[in-house]
Amino acid sequence: MYKLTALSLLLAAAYAQAAPQTVNCGRLLDVKAGKWRDNVSIVVDAGKVVSVGAMTGAPDALDLSRHSCMPGFIDMHVHLTGETQKQVDALRETLTLNPADHALRAVKLADRTLKAGFTTVRDLGASNGLSISLKRAIDSGAVPGPRMFTAGKSIATTGGHADPTNSLNERFRAALGEPGPAEGVVNSAEEARQAVRHRYKEGADLIKVTATGGVLSQARNGQNPQYTEDELRAVVAAAKDYGFRVAAHAHGSEGIKRALRAGVDSIEHGTLIDDEAIALFKKHNAYYVPTISAGRYVADMAKKNADYYSPLVRPKAIEIGNQIQATFGRAYKAGVKIAFGTDAGVFPHGENAREFGYMVEAGMPPLEAIRAATINAAALLDQSARLGSIEPGFAADIVAVAGDPLANIALLQQVQFVMKDGVVYKKP
């Protein structure tokens, strides 16, 4: 009798979890139509939206009747396996911590990101397979976190922004040996193709290249082009063979233009975009992912705390970081396609929604900023049929705030409800 009762309880619990669920929203932002729908019920089943219609009196509905509901946000540029700290501490941890230490820390960072309302992220670079392992843990339900699309190890040239041996002295470099395509470092078109194939073997979802120098790498120049155009074309061609999109980190104008001519799908940061680059964005139908938050953060920290970054990095942070917001405003007004991205990890995770405010400050209307983090981001991910909108057949990713974010964009920093794939992670 006891065994039958226990079995019955288990079956009942399974049935309850599988039963459709209703979410009652005071209003719902239709991101495609660009308008609010009042008093809406969203029916969710098996992790997907079943229907969206007039509010019902379902007794067991999740009550968000005093809230504004939107699709879960998508951040197209994060690094979930690390977080900003003084560079001397970061170097010490590189030499003393194991990959498992960083993996365990990443669990907290992923949870913080999800609860900030970001139900999907594109992770653009992590060593030791960490981002891929984190993605698998989230997908299996072992840990909470956003849905991840990951580039695995970024691909650089020798001495380039993502060369993992940049901060090491000669003795360490000699002991480790020069990294090659398997470690994401290339010096020819052939090695570029090999590096893409290694990312496929690694389990990546897309490719990330560092087409120019960077702010936080231990090198004097944060703008110089670091690939030949032939090398970039080889990356893009190999990526297409494997169904990968290509994201290119790029600050300097020449590196941006080489990457666009080679056919990359997005430019990350894009600090020194010029008129010729704007024309190339439009010609090649590429997206701009601005990461204003990271630029603002590194510039502010470099000014406030002279010891936070190394002497090589500090002047780059001040020079480059302050320019991204204005560049974004110019690119938006020129009609360049924008997808939301922050470079979270360069600044604290969970503060991703600050980017909305920076975008609005630079001239983008609040609705367009939200679209950049929903339908535009979904399009760049090739996920327009299941992410970025709340409609039948789409993933049940829903966030809610109290108030009207189209009137006060800062409300998006105060998300009170988060559902991903029909599972509630945060309630008012």
| CA–CA dist 54, 277 (Å, integer) | 46
The domain made up of 73-380 has a fold known as TIM Barrel (3.20.20)
Residues facing 148 on adjacent strands: 121
CA distance linking residue 41 with residue 53, whole number of Å: 5
Q: Which pTM value belongs to this model?
A: 0.93
**Quick one: pLDDT at residue 177?**
62
Coil, strand or helix: which one is 159? coil
**Residue 58 has what pLDDT?**
83
The segment(s) of the chain belonging to CATH 3.20.20.140 are 73-380
Q: Where along the chain do the CATH 2.30.40.10 domains lie? A: 2-72+389-426
User: For position 9, what pLDDT does the model report?
Assistant: 38
CA pair distance 163, 184, nearest whole angstrom: 8
**Whole-angstrom Cα distance, residue 384 to residue 99?**
34
Phi/psi at 25 (5° precision): -110, 135
- Put the strands of the sheet holding 73-78 in their side by side order: 73-78, 118-123, 147-150
SS3 109: helix
- Return the DSSP state at 22: E
Which pLDDT score, from 0 to 100, does residue 352 have?
Answer: 98
Pairing of strands 62-71, 246-250: unpaired
> In this predicted structure, what is the pLDDT of residue 321?
84
What is the predicted pLDDT for the residue at 175? Answer: 64
- Distance in angstroms (rounded) separating the CA atoms of residues 335 and 316: 28
For residue range 349-378, what is the model confidence (pLDDT) as tens digits?
999 999 999 999 999 999 999 999 999 999
For the domain spanning 2-72+389-426, the CATH number is 2.30.40.10
Q: Which segments in the chain show pLDDT lower than 50?
A: 1-17
The 10 Å Cβ neighbour count of residue 334 is: 14
* Separation of alpha carbons 354 and 393, rounded Å: 30
Residue written as token pair 């409800």: 417
